[in-house]
């Protein structure tokens, strides 16, 4: 006896796969990437000490992701290998954030279009710090391979809309690190019922433009986060000398 055949229109297939991927991403906590005066800031709510949402891809390029961990970690590893081979075969300057974002877009788009494969439940951000602020780049990639070039900041996963609204109220790309980090944490707290997130619940890293080495990525510990939130001390004012 032959099995009955059911027809599903391509439009319905795409919609069902997109709804499936969005539902998986929405179950995770938010992460954000934003420009600040000294480079690019990565911040995410992450209570795990071993599973990272934020990572380094190459010298001046960072990576952030939300969704299913095993899927975006495989993408992270593949991106590192691709960048290393490209930099070794040609020149380290040939490895760019745009190149990696395009590579990720092709992979995600191919997987999403393959009816026999489950779509990836991931959302990615690839950011590159430039030599000057106007050359900073932030690329936002979704589960279907779509790429958006973000001007100032990118928010992914969880309650992305509420976090983006909270961050956008007083965001500026030229804020010092302590102000940018403070506003990023306040925005992420909107995804936590308004309760302030402690340093043990955060994963934070930066791409520092003026770091005196080729690799600009630096991960912040809980102590580093607490120190970064402290405004720099104002220089002491010198008293004028008394006239003799």
C-alpha span between 177 and 174 (Å, rounded): 9
Strands 217-220 and 39-45: unpaired
Q: What does the angle CA 35 – CA 41 – CA 46 come to, to the nearest 5 degrees?
A: 140
Nearest to residue 95, comparing CAs of 137, 66, 151? Answer: 137
pTM for the full predicted model: 0.89
- Dmax (CA) of the chain: 113
pLDDT digits (tens, 9 = 90+) for 32-77: 999 999 999 999 998 888 899 999 999 999 999 999 999 999 999 9
Phi/psi for 92 (5° steps) reads -60, -30
Residue-level length of the chain: 244
In the chain, % of residues over pLDDT 90: 66
C-alpha span between 89 and 199 (Å, rounded): 41
pLDDT digits (tens, 9 = 90+) for 75-125: 999 999 999 999 999 999 999 999 999 999 999 999 999 888 899 999 999
Examine the pLDDT at 3 and tell me if it is beyond 80: no
Question: If you average pLDDT over every residue of the chain, what do you get?
Answer: 89
- Domain boundaries of the chain, sorted by first residue: 27-228
Q: Average pLDDT, stretch 163-176?
A: 90
Assigned CATH class of 27-228: alpha beta
Q: Which H or E run includes 179? A: helix 177-189
Tokens representing residue 39 in the block: 């480079």
Q: Which H or E run includes 20? A: helix 10-26
Residue 227 confidence (pLDDT)? 86
């Amino acid at each position: 006896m032959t099995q009955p055949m059911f027809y599903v229109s391509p439009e319905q297939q795409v919609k069902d796969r997109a709804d499936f991927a969005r539902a998986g991403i929405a179950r995770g906590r938010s992460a954000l990437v934003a420009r600040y005066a000294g480079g690019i800031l990565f911040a995410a709510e992450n209570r795990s000490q071993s599973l990272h949402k934020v990572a380094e891809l190459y010298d001046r390029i960072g990576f952030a992701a939300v969704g299913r961990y095993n899927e975006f970690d495989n993408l992270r590893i593949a991106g590192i290998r691709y960048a290393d081979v490209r930099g070794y075969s040609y020149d380290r300057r040939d490895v760019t954030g745009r190149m990696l974002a395009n590579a990720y877009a092709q992979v995600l788009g191919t997987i999403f279009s393959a009816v026999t494969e489950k779509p990836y439940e991931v959302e990615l951000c690839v950011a590159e710090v430039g030599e000057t602020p106007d050359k900073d780049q932030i690329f936002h990639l979704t589960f279907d391979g779509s790429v958006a070039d973000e001007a100032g900041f990118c928010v992914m996963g969880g309650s992305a809309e509420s976090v983006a609204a909270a961050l956008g109220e007083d965001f500026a790309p030229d804020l010092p690190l302590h102000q940018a980090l403070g506003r990023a944490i306040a925005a992420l707290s909107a995804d936590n019922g308004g309760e302030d997130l402690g340093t043990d619940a955060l994963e934070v890293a930066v791409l520092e433009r003026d770091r005196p080495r080729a690799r600009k990525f630096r991960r912040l510990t809980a102590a580093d986060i607490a120190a970064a939130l402290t405004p720099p001390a104002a220089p002491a004012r010198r008293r004028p000398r008394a006239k003799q």
